[in-house]
Structure formats: C-alpha cells, structure tokens
Chain A
Amino acid sequence: MTSFLAWLMSPQDYMPHGMCFLWQPELIALHVASDSLIALSYYSIPVALIYFVMKRTDLAFPAIFVLTGLFILACGTTHAMSVWTLWFPDYRVDGGIKAVTALLSVGTAVAIWKVMPLALALPSTGQLERANKLLGQEITQRQRAEAALRQANAELERRVAARTADLQEEVVRRRDTEATLRASEERWRSMFEASAVGITLMDQQNHFAAANEAFQKMVGYTEQELLSLGPVDITHEDDRQATREMIQDVQSGKRQDYQAEKRYRRKDGKVIWVRVSTARALDPNSPLPGIPTLVEDITERKRAEMAWHDAREALSRATRLTVMGELSASIAHEINQPLSAIITNGRACERFLDFSPPDLDEVKDAVGEIVRDGKRASEVLSRIRAMSRNSAPERGPVDVNLAIAEVLALTRDELHRHRISVMTELHSNLPVTMADRVQLQQVVLNLVMNGIDAMRAVTDRPRNLTVRSQLSDQGNIVVNVADSGVGLDPRNRDRIFDSFFTTKPEGMGMGLAISNTIIQAHHGQLWAESGTPFGAVFGFTLPLAAGASL
C-alpha cells in the first residue's frame, strides 16, 4: 500500500493534457470553464444534501443521501482534476480519484437499487396530498365529532351534577323518612308491648304471628306456644264455628272487620270472656300480611251482666208472683165455681142413679157438664201455672190478642168483684210477634191491676177498663189500658216508672219499674198519659221485629 501510494505520488514524465488540445486557448478555456463549473456545482450538491439531511431528520434512507453526496463530491473532484491535468500530468492521482469515484458510484448504484422497492413503496407526493386531503377531511370530521362529543360530555356532566344533587337530596329525605319510621315503629312497639289490651297478629295460615304480653297473660300461653296455635284453637268449643266463619269472611274480603264477644279456653282450662275486634285485614300483597286483632278480657263485666240479668229476672218473677198473690182470692173463686158445680152435679147423678129405673138422661147431661167444668178448672190452673213459671225467659211467637184475653180471664173475677166493666177493642188482624209471652202478660196484668186500684175510690161514675190493641203506622203493635180512675198526679208523673215509687199504701213500687224493664228488653216503650175526661191510659209499643236478646 505504501508502495502504491508512493507510486501514485511519484513524479511522472507524462505530458500535460493541454498538449492534447495543442494548447489552443479556446479549447483549454472551454474545458477549464466547463470542468470548473461542473466541479463547483458538484461540490455544492453534497453540501445541499448534507444540509437537507441534517434539517430533515425524518428523511427516509438518509444513508443513500450521504452516499450520493460522497459520490457527487468524488465526481466533482474528478472534474477538478481534469482542470489540474491540463497543465500538470498527475494522471496517477487522477486515476486514483476516479477509482475512488468508481467505488462510490458502484456502492451508490447498488444501494439505490437495493432500496428501490422500499423507495417505491414510499408514497408519492400526489398520494401524500390525497392522503393529506383525506386526512384533512377526516380531521375536520373528527374535530366536529370531538366538538359534539365535548358538548355531549358537557351535557352529561351537567346532568350528572344535577342528578347527584337530586340524589343527595333524596338521600337526605330517605334518611329523614327512615328516622321517622324508626321512631314510629319504636312508638308502636312500645304501645304493643305495654298495652293492657291483648294485641295479636294472625298470619295467613291462621296462626298467631305475634302476641303481646297482655294477650299471653290473658290466655296463659307463651308467645312461642302461640306461634303454633290459632285463634280457633284457644276458642271455647261452642264458639269455634262462629270464629272460623268470621275469620273466613275477613280473609275472603267479605267483611272488612268484625267485633265479637266470645269465650276463650285458657291453657289451664279456665274459660274467659273476651271482646275481639279485628280492625282490618291487611293487604295480602303487603310484605307483612295478616290480621291484626285487639282482645279485651271482659270476664268480670260478663259475670256482672249475668248476675244483674239473673237478679232482674228473679225480681221480675217475685213481682209477678206478688201480683198473682193479690189475685189469689179471685183465682180461688175461679176454681171454686167449676168445682162446686162438679160436686153438685156428682151428687145429683148419685141420686138419679138411685131412682128405679135410674134417670139416665139426667145423668148423661150432668156428666157432660162435669167434664166441661173440669176442663174449665184445669184451664184456670194452667193459666196460673204459666204465669208462675220459674224458668228462664224465652222468646217465641206470641199472639198479643190471645195473651191479653188470657190476662183478662185471669182477672175476670177480680174485675167483677170491683164492679168494673171491661171493654176490649182488639185489632182483628194483628201479626204474631216474637216476644216472651209470660213477661208480656205480666206487663198487661200489671196495668190491669193498676187500673183496678185507680178505680177503687170511684163511686160517682162508671168503673170502666178498656183494653186496646192496635197497629201503628210504623207497623208496631200498640197495647193500651185505659181506666176511669183517679188519674195521674202531675207531680208524680216522671217518677211512676222508678223502682220503689208507689202511691199505694201496700204497694211495693216495683210493678211499673219491672214492666218498663220488660218492655225495654223487647225494644219497646212504656208510657202513661191522662185519660179523657178522667182516668189514666198506660200503654206500650212492641216493635214487630223485636229480635233482641234478653
């Protein structure tokens, strides 16, 4: 190599190139000018390329540019050498430079062909412009879409903010509602627990779902035990059917609620009376279905009621028997009459049978009368027996006119004895009413006896007693007893129905009070008014549909 370089730089004996041009100045000048311009131009190109490469850092294949730059630099140098060799025959250096140039040009050519497919794949400016345009359009669309998106986003954010505010408000409201509900529940629960009244909730399987302490005490079962029991199980055997029906009615919606007085059988077997009130069947679709019920223990009240009822009935009976006692002389007379006739007829029969031949026609007549009188006496007895009844009151269909007629038959003799004319004005078509016949007759008897007493002192006018039965416009039966006695004292008028009030020296003062109670139990009304022109009228009404219990 050192020897090649030495060879290259060694002095040569070649003739300058200008000699080939015969040193013609025009030709020399042409070559010098042309080669100089080419060389200068070639030298400027690599500079431009390098500058370009340095500026365009994103340039594809920069090596090609550098290689091309070097190649052109080399070419420029060959042209510069051409100028040099016109005068100085350094053809060896010139050839070396050309060899370098050849290497660079071959390398450049190989490199260019090598990168050709890649360079071809690079988009052309037109393509780039089209692509750029498309890109521009796309960018515009995108920008538009982005604007819309931003707008939508802003709207969404606004909504989210509004909804968040709403939700916060809702949360506050819910929290308040929950607090109120909790307070309400606590209040109800404390009422439920502390209530002296039994409170239960029955589920849809007819079992107790809840029972407060008062109820547990009342029936003697614990809440745990009650959960497997239903109202029917703890109800007295005789009241079970009615209870079943009522529960069914409430569950089926046939009834909204019910109230009933009935009996429970406690766990220890004791019977208690309760008043059951079912407020309302809850909505079956509610999360808490069931029937809430209030239960009060009314055993004491029932006991008092029954005792009062018994006492009233005993008093009523005692009063009735007292009146019957007052009538005893008349009653004895009523029985004595037929008895006397029977005995007398009997004696006559004996005598007619002793005749020879016996007078059988007379005997036959007499026996007929004996039978008739016997019946008459027995009727009187049965009337007395009915009025002296010792049994509990009982309702049945009553023919009011017949009841009045029986009382008048019983008092017929008493009225005769007091020389009282009895008149009856009985409605011919009275309907039969549901009543306690004996109690009703007791009232009529009482009014008749009062009438007799009121006329005891009357001597200056006829003693008349009028008994009427009527049908009012409202369809009620009205019975009244009018006398021509001393009449009502206005001062006593308001007190005559009071217990123990009497104007009679031997009176007990119970007759009208008891009568009043009896008529009220029949849902009727007892009243008194002055008669015209004198005397008094006592009357009572009886509603036809008097279906009340006694």
Chain B
Amino acid sequence: MTGNQSIVMIVDDDDSIRKAVRRLMKSYGLPVETFASAAEYLGSDRLAKTSCLVLDVHMPDMTGLELQKRLIGAGYVIPIVFITAFTDDNARTQALNAGAVGYLAKPFSDEELLSHIHTALRNAGADVSEPLRR
C-alpha cells in the first residue's frame, strides 16, 4: 500500500471535530487529511487522492450536500460519510439518494464511523484486506 494509499479526507468547519476525527483515524493507522471548508477542499489538489470523504453537513458558504452535488457534477465518484449535529431527515434522504455511504448524527460511535469508512474504502477499491487495526 505504497502507491495506492488510501487517504481519508475530513471536511468540517469545527476545529474540535476535525482534530478529534483526525486523531481517531490516526489511532487506526489510516492516513488522514483535514479541510476547514468545502472551498478549501475543492481548491486543493487532493480530490483524486480521496479514498473516503468524511463530510460535515452544515457549514457556512457551502454545505456538505452542495459539495456532494458539485463532486458528482464534476464526475468524481468519491465515497462520502456525512456527519451532522442536526437530525434532519430530508437532508439524510437527499444525501443517501445521491449515493452517500453513510449519514451519522453527532455524537457518533467510533465503531459506526469506522464501519462506514471501511465500506467506503472497499467501494473505492482500496486494499482493505489489510487489517485496519495495527
């Protein structure tokens, strides 16, 4: 897993959530990169490298759902796990219909998040036979 390294990208405007999720991924040995907004992520060159996108739903300027739409529109097929502090059934349906792997309400358990990330990575064709736990 050198050339085809799976990288988990996190986009969340909340600094605490970003840092915590990054630390959790690190504890599982997953490479991880973080972005504070949709615009920052879109502006980076990491879109093609993304094996799994952990995406916050509610963000100022561009929401997670809008980013999903933009990525689909641009032809990217990136497995997305949404995380949100709001319980909004409409948003959940919209996200899952558009192909999201998961839609988790904060606070979520690490098992839930990991299992969704696992699914996402598998969908992305990553080598998931490699155990996630060290």
A residues touching B (Cβ–Cβ < 8 Å)? 329, 332-333, 336-345, 347-348, 351-352, 355, 362, 365-366, 369, 372-373, 376, 413, 416-417, 419, 421
19 cross-chain CB contacts under 8 A = A336-B85, A336-B106, A337-B14, A337-B16, A339-B106, A340-B106, A340-B108, A341-B17, A341-B19, A341-B20, A342-B20, A343-B108, A343-B110, A344-B107, A347-B109, A366-B23, A369-B20, A373-B20, A416-B59
- CB < 8 Å neighbour of A419 from B14, B27, B28, B61: B61
- CB < 8 Å neighbour of B26 from A338, A341, A343, A362: A362
Asked if B85 and A332 make an inter-chain contact with CB atoms under 8 angstroms apart, the answer reads yes
Asked if A417 and B23 make an inter-chain contact with CB atoms under 8 angstroms apart, the answer reads no
Asked if A338 and B60 make an inter-chain contact with CB atoms under 8 angstroms apart, the answer reads no
Which parts of B14-70 form the interface with A (CB within 8 Å)? 14, 16-17, 19-21, 23-24, 26-28, 58-61
Cβ-closest chain B residue relative to A334: B85
Residues in A neighbouring B27, C-beta threshold 8 A? 347-348, 351-352, 362
How many interface residues does B have (CB within 8 Å)? 25
Asked if B24 and A344 make an inter-chain contact with CB atoms under 8 angstroms apart, the answer reads yes
Asked if A416 and B58 make an inter-chain contact with CB atoms under 8 angstroms apart, the answer reads yes
Asked if B58 and A348 make an inter-chain contact with CB atoms under 8 angstroms apart, the answer reads no
Cβ-closest chain A residue relative to B21: A344
Q: How far is the CA of A314 from the CA of B109 in the complex (A)?
A: 42
B residues touching A (Cβ–Cβ < 8 Å)? 14, 16-17, 19-21, 23-24, 26-28, 58-61, 83, 85-86, 106-110, 113, 134
Asked if B110 and A344 make an inter-chain contact with CB atoms under 8 angstroms apart, the answer reads yes
Interface majority SS (helix, strand, loop, mixed), chain A:
helix
Residues in B neighbouring A333, C-beta threshold 8 A? 58, 85-86
- CB < 8 Å neighbour of B58 from A340, A341, A417: A417
Asked if A348 and B20 make an inter-chain contact with CB atoms under 8 angstroms apart, the answer reads yes
Cβ-closest chain A residue relative to B18: A341
Q: In whole Å, how far is A395's beta carbon from the nearest beta carbon of chain B?
A: 37
Asked if B14 and A341 make an inter-chain contact with CB atoms under 8 angstroms apart, the answer reads yes
Residues in B neighbouring A340, C-beta threshold 8 A? 17, 20, 83, 85, 106-108
- CB < 8 Å neighbour of B106 from A337, A347, A372, A419: A337
